[in-house]
Structure 1
Amino acid sequence: MTTSPVERAAESFAAELARHRTGRGLSKKQLATLMGFDPSYVSHVEGRRHRPTEDFARRAEAVLEASGAIWQRFREYDELRGRAGGPHREPPGSGQWLPPGTGLVVERETATLTYTDERYHCAIRRELYNAGTEPVTRYLVRVAVDRYPNDPVHSNRHHREHPLTFAELQLQAYRDDGGTREPMRWRAKHDRDAFKEVWLLFENEEGRFPLYPGDRVTLEYAYRVGRDKWGPWFQRAVRLPTRHLAVRLDLPADHEPKVWGAETSLSSEEAPLRTPIQRHDEGGRVCFDWATDDPPLNARYRMQWRFRNQPPDEEPDGLGPGGRVRASDRMRAAGILQRGDDLLWQPARQFDLPHEERVARDVVDRLSAILVRLDELHPFSKGVGIAAPQLGLGWAAALVRPADRAAEPVMLLNPRVVDTASDTDEQYEGCLSFFDHRGLVPRPLRIDVEHAQWDGSRVITSFEHAMARLVAHEIDHLEGRLYVDRMTPGVPLVPVEEYRETGHPWRY
């Protein structure tokens, strides 16, 4: 008996839902509770006894953080159902976009970059909706520069010598609430040579104005950066559920700008933008506009350009526009030691706590800072860890963050494995110090780790599945091992260009 395209699409949706639910370690009942549905409904959808609705698909996508995969399967099903004369479908944008409990949602973002007088002016306008259950009192924004995007080693050196400063940014932020424009205070979170993170505070000298659940507000912020620090690129990263994203480049016509774009996501490598960039000539300026609806979480959209009648920017090492560097070179430029460095083979020194608490805190601060930088370099869908020896610091400290980027990293000081499960599995691992390859590594499904607190006391924490693998990987670093030492003899490494699981979590 053959099935119709609609039935096959419904089965594909159910399979995608089940894959992400089990990947998150949730039962059907737990998922239903998080989505606000009766448990029997989730069971019926996965069992193909009920067809999915748009509301169900949106809630599942938001709760499971599926990077657009669940929503894409629903759209494929919904389109086929419409062709087959199915029930009337609401037009895009009707009704509530995401359910309560989702948190902050960007209903519309408009990002404009204007180049004039050898300086780039960036203006961001975001229309926010609080779909959560708590008032929002601050909002995180990021500013990153990269003078030579095709050569991270040179760019890293350039920004060390010429760091970006808050003074030159001249950051200004406002809250527009129905025509009332309120200036916002801001507070720095991270201050690096080429990277800044800032909390925009819902307050000013006249008081506080939180964004309460169910309310909407428009935030506007702007800053400027000289051409000496801003390379020919403008990237937008989707870090919150976003309904519409629009980007504009406003460039001088007499520079004869040539513009192109690329996108990446957790489930795909870099590819050209799926829709063309629109060009509009306006007097002595040329505007390039591009927009997309419902971009997947963690997607990145980059517009790049060159001025054809200007001398080309210096491109060291023979790389021209669009040139590529190896993944390991990007990690090396971020300050991470690469395989072959002697320090990676040496056991790390234990902290004498609490006497060396200040040293330990300094090391952990360094590790925290590099985690922030890594988020700009690569989407870590399986989670990420960093050990002090990878930064050239011979101390027994590591940070491990699960796949949920909103989760706080787990801090490991003087850790040692005290027990492991007898059950093991093999999964492909990558390593920041060996980033051009992936290797199949056997690991226990559970490990118990004894580790120190700041005051020198010790606790034992049990880790399972993905976190067990991540933690074991970092403890190996502290003991002078790389994952290749754990691989079964004769099993080949896979070049990252051939690895097909980038953007997918480990499966358990």
Structure 2
Amino acid sequence: MGDRSERGTFAATLKHFRTIRGYSAAALARRLGIDPSYVSHLEAGRERGSSDLVRRMDKELEAAGALWHAWQEDEGEPVPAETPEETPTSTGVLVLEDEARLTYDGTRYQLRMRRLVRNVGSVPVTRYLVRIAVDRYPGEPERSNALYRLRPLTWDELRLEAQCGDEAMGWTVKHDRDAFKEIWLTFANDQARFPLYPGQEAEITYSYTVSGDKWGPWFQRAVRVPTRELSVTLAFPSALKPTVWGTETSLTADFAPLRTPPTRHIEGDQTIFSWSTRDPQLHARYRLEWRLTTPHTAESESEPVNPTSPSAAMAGAGIVQDGDPLLHAVARPFDLPAEAEEARRVVGTLFEAIARVRQLHTFGKGMGIAACQIGIDRAAAVVIPPDLEADPIVLLNPDIAETAADSDEQYEGCLSFFDVRGLVPRPLYAVIAHTDLDGTRRLIRYEHGLARLVLHEVDHLHGTLYRDRMLPGTTPIPVEEYRGTGHNWTYR
């Protein structure tokens, strides 16, 4: 086997894939549930790592078996001729050009995707993953779910077509749900196989259609593999007077407006909006949204709304308001890891709601939102710390494991009755038990303001509102009388 100082292949391969996938050593360690220093030791060749850890790293970094092979080479073990079954075979792909064009004709949406890809890995690529997801009523998940239960997306209406150059691509279904599909496009058809070998490039195009009553007013691009250039074009009938805006987020940054606005021009009877970016960060998400003038929106805009009411504004952003029974129900826990995909979907919907809410208010103390507040009866919540450099806190199946004996009173607000603020006693620290997507149960200690934020959201998932925590004889005050808006809580 040789001395450890001679084992350099795995260390270099690990650092290479960690870097191109956009992970810091600390971020990768968090995903794997190991100490950050251990990643540094592995990359320096001072540690060997177990076979189980190497397989998990290979999967997390989408290394197509390259880490596993390098680890075996360092150990002098025979390397298998094929990639392990569980390793995604689309790994090792670099997207040179990613172009999306979404066209609406007044009744149907048609999406055409074009990707110029290069195999930068060490094994042939034989398939490419495609996701189709729709949400007719963003911020109203129960309404959307009811729609798709009655009228699910079907393969017949999607009319999916895909090509690699001049060759038609085959496809196999990975997930088939009412409003979400995942398909493996295969580099093969009935007449030929044309895998993408290391160093080769290919142009993949695919298209599908969705009726207008099933597609909500948004389109999102997620950067799941390294990408050089990303562009989106939206085309609407000019008669609908379209307006388009967008937001972006990543693993290291919260939702923010697009750094450059979409451009607008007229082509015949269509208004075209175009937007692009170069070298987008891995795991970044870019979301374009629009408003069209239709009989439905005209009717909605004619409804009387009090623009000065904070609660009305939150309701307009899709936040469930006081009086809804869901706010007093105990949320259903996730069966993890079996329901990991469902948990990811719910958390993604929470982040989308946070983006809408943060356009309406400045949260100097940080903020949080629980799934029940967007109409989802699941045990998930997200907390955004006041420190802009801190990562969001995702809580799945959280419970309170321990609290401080000492407490203090501070004013809190709640998105579900945002017209008032209440003086609430909370312990000065709390230890929260929660579950990772892989089913691992963890304990994390939070102090002071962060403990207050987290406990507020854990209460939501147990059907408790902050009013229930207020001392007898204490009542909330109108937000107009509160003087702490935009400022963090203070502690001695």
1:198 is aligned to 182
The counterpart of 1:246, out of the listed 220, 225, 231, is: 231
1:109 is aligned to 98
CA distance, structure 1, for counterparts of residue 332 and residue 210 of structure 2: 43
Q: CA deviation at 1:197?
A: 3.8
CA distance, structure 1, for counterparts of residue 461 and residue 35 of structure 2: 39
- In the alignment of these two chains, the number of paired residues is 377
CA distance, structure 2, for counterparts of residue 443 and residue 116 of structure 1: 56
CA distance, structure 1, for counterparts of residue 193 and residue 37 of structure 2: 37
CA distance, structure 2, for counterparts of residue 30 and residue 482 of structure 1: 41
CA distances 1:130-171 after superposition (whole Å, capped 9, x unpaired): 778998755252332537x8x969975994696352245324
2:321 is aligned to 338
**Kindly tell me: are residues 446 and 105 of structure 1, through their superposed partners in 2, closer, same or farther at Cα, counting changes over 3 Å?**
farther
3-state DSSP of counterpart to 1:187: strand
CA distances 1:83-106 after superposition (whole Å, capped 9, x unpaired): xxxxxxxxxxxxxxxxxxx97664
3-state DSSP of counterpart to 2:285: coil
- Whether contact under 8 Å (1:328, 1:434) holds in the other structure is no
The counterpart of 1:281, out of the listed 239, 256, 267, is: 267
1:92 is aligned to none
Q: CA deviation at 1:238?
A: 3.7
CA distance, structure 2, for counterparts of residue 276 and residue 350 of structure 1: 40
Look up the equivalent residue of 1:447 and give its one-letter code: V
Q: CA deviation at 1:300?
A: 1.9
The counterpart of 1:298, out of the listed 278, 281, 285, is: 285
**Kindly tell me: are residues 460 and 203 of structure 1, through their superposed partners in 2, closer, same or farther at Cα, counting changes over 3 Å?**
same
Gaps of at least 5 residues in structure 2 are 1-23, 46-60, 62-90, 359-365, 385-391, 488-492
The counterpart of 2:210, out of the listed 213, 217, 225, is: 225
**Kindly tell me: are residues 214 and 481 of structure 1, through their superposed partners in 2, closer, same or farther at Cα, counting changes over 3 Å?**
farther
1:237 is aligned to 221
Is 1:463–2:433 an aligned residue pair?
Answer: no
2:379 is aligned to 398
Q: CA deviation at 1:368?
A: 6.5
The counterpart of 1:183, out of the listed 150, 170, 174, is: 170
The counterpart of 1:172, out of the listed 123, 145, 160, is: 160
CA distance, structure 1, for counterparts of residue 111 and residue 278 of structure 2: 22
Percent identity over paired residues: 25
The counterpart of 1:142, out of the listed 132, 151, 168, is: 132
CA distance, structure 2, for counterparts of residue 247 and residue 117 of structure 1: 19
1:78 is aligned to none
3-state DSSP of counterpart to 1:165: coil
Q: CA deviation at 1:302?
A: 3.0
CA distances 1:22-58 after superposition (whole Å, capped 9, x unpaired): 99999998599499899xxxxxxxxxxxxxxxxxxxx
Q: TM-score, normalised on structure 2?
A: 0.52
- Whether contact under 8 Å (2:326, 2:375) holds in the other structure is no
1:47-446 to structure 2, matched below 5 A, reads 106-116=95-105, 118-128=107-117, 139-146=129-136, 156=144, 159=147, 163-167=151-155, 169-174=157-162, 176=164, 180-192=167-179, 196-202=180-186, 217-230=202-215, 233-240=217-224, 242-251=227-236, 256=239, 258-266=241-249, 274-275=260-261, 277-279=263-265, 281=267, 287-295=272-280, 297-306=284-293, 312-318=295-301, 326-332=313-319, 337-341=320-324, 344-345=327-328, 348=330, 370-379=346-355, 386=370, 398-399=379-380, 411-412=396-397, 416-420=399-403, 433=416
- Whether contact under 8 Å (1:368, 1:399) holds in the other structure is no
CA distance, structure 2, for counterparts of residue 135 and residue 379 of structure 1: 39
Q: CA deviation at 1:390?
A: 7.8
3-state DSSP of counterpart to 1:191: coil
Look up the equivalent residue of 1:142 and give its one-letter code: I
CA distance, structure 2, for counterparts of residue 421 and residue 428 of structure 1: 19
3-state DSSP of counterpart to 1:141: strand
Look up the equivalent residue of 1:300 and give its one-letter code: R
3-state DSSP of counterpart to 1:327: helix
Gaps of at least 5 residues in structure 1 are 1-19, 39-62, 64-101, 352-356, 452-457, 502-508
CA distance, structure 2, for counterparts of residue 181 and residue 112 of structure 1: 20
Q: CA deviation at 1:264?
A: 1.9
CA distance, structure 1, for counterparts of residue 463 and residue 259 of structure 2: 42
- Whether contact under 8 Å (1:110, 1:126) holds in the other structure is yes
1:60 is aligned to none
CA distance, structure 2, for counterparts of residue 301 and residue 247 of structure 1: 9
CA distance, structure 2, for counterparts of residue 487 and residue 417 of structure 1: 19
Q: CA deviation at 1:186?
A: 2.9
Q: CA deviation at 1:443?
A: 6.3
- Whether contact under 8 Å (1:121, 1:222) holds in the other structure is yes
**Kindly tell me: are residues 431 and 114 of structure 1, through their superposed partners in 2, closer, same or farther at Cα, counting changes over 3 Å?**
same
CA distance, structure 2, for counterparts of residue 435 and residue 362 of structure 1: 36
CA distances 1:195-238 after superposition (whole Å, capped 9, x unpaired): x242435466669988788775544332112344446x452334
Q: TM-score, normalised on structure 1?
A: 0.51
Q: What value does the CA root-mean-square deviation take over the aligned residues?
A: 6.3
